Homo-oligomer: A and B are copies of this chain.
Amino acid sequence: MAQYSAQLDGVFVALADPTRRAVVRRLGRGSTSVGELAREFPMTLPSFMKHVRTLEANGLIRTVKSGRVRTCELNRDRLALVDDWLAEQRRTWEERTDRLEQFVTDPEEDRQ
């Protein structure tokens, strides 16, 4: 649960940057090289590479170097962490809503 939180941290941090979200989006349409990706963004290659590393370090993408070209691929599974977290939130609300409904229906059961 603690390391689960650390992973979530990483995923949210990675997605908090518009450049990195755009990369994730782009890779959703198919894998491509760092250079190809970088061309779409108004920054130098070293700067862009930091984003790639961040995405990889947090598991959102995988990269492989073949020759002088590094190819990036989306790791869809990782986004499921966000999905799971959201689902957990919704579960919490629903439980609460259920309890509130129960309170309305049968107030004696749920008084603080």
Contacts and interface: CB of A to CB of B under 8 A. Distances in A.
A15 B14 CA distance: 11
Interface in A70-85: 74, 76, 79, 82-83, 85
Interface of A is mostly: helix
A25 interface: yes
A92 B29 CA distance: 6
Contact of A28 (B13, B17, B83, B93): B93
20 contacts: A5-B18, A5-B21, A8-B18, A12-B12, A12-B15, A12-B21, A13-B16, A15-B16, A21-B85, A24-B89, A25-B89, A25-B92, A29-B92, A29-B96, A30-B96, A76-B93, A79-B89, A82-B82, A83-B86, A86-B86
